[in-house]
């Protein structure tokens, strides 16, 4: 009888873990607005030296894309990523969507990443883009390789919204192996 009770208690404990709510976001959303779904198209490595630690671009038209594509695609090794990006741009209806690109500058190892965490539409003229930066922990070994990282995504952005909205970028850093953000 004890074994049956123990079995059911273990089963119930397992169900409780499965039903636990997801953990909260590592950083709070600091503005009020509409949370926009982010559709990841591709994430990958790139070796592009930037003047800053990272750069976020928002593209709302084919013309705007043609202004940045050659510079971007030349810094990405010719792989399936470039084909996926080109296909995604062709499939994007710029009357209803925009493209977001977050690029992290080149580092001496491949442990530095960037991810578009969430996007909040404050108005049809202003977006807040939250980016998560991952850095290697000081006590962890890393593989030497000159690489940066990028995240290319699509978001809803109706045509009646501004062609060139104000983009506020909120970044936070997590060390690899930790879920606690580094507050700067």
Record the tokens describing residue 42, joined without a space.
């591709």
**Which pLDDT does position 178 carry in this prediction?**
62
CA atoms within 13 A on the CB side of 6: 3
- Confirm if 25 and 117 have CB atoms less than 8 A apart: yes
Most confident of 81-85, 105-109, 115-119, 143-147: 115-119
Nearest to 98 by CA among 182, 161, 17, 169: 161
pLDDT tens for residues 6-64? 444 444 444 433 333 333 455 667 788 899 999 999 888 877 777 888 889 898 888 88
Residue 85 confidence class, pLDDT cut points 50, 70, 90: confident
Please say whether the beta carbons of 154 and 96 come within 8 A.
no
DSSP per-residue codes, 49-65: --SSSEEEEEE-SHHHH
Residue 175 pLDDT: 76
């Amino acid at each position: 009888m004890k074994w049956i009770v123990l079995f059911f208690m273990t089963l119930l404990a397992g169900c409780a873990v499965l039903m636990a709510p997801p953990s909260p976001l590592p950083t709070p959303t600091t503005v009020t607005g509409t949370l926009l779904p982010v559709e990841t198209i591709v994430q990958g490595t790139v070796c592009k030296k930037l003047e800053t630690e990272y750069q976020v671009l928002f593209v709302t038209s084919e013309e705007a894309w043609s202004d940045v594509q050659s510079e971007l695609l030349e810094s990405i090794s010719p792989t399936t990523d470039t084909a996926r990006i080109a296909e995604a741009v062709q499939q994007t209806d710029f009357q209803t969507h925009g493209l977001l690109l977050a690029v992290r500058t080149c580092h001496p190892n491949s442990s530095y990443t960037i991810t578009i965490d969430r996007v909040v539409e404050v108005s049809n003229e202003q977006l807040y883009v939250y980016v998560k930066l991952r850095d290697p922990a000081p006590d962890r070994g890393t593989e030497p390789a000159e690489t940066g990282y990028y995240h290319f995504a699509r978001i809803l952005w109706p045509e009646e919204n501004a062609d060139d909205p104000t983009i506020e970028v909120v970044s936070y850093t997590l060390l690899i192996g930790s879920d606690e953000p580094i507050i700067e």
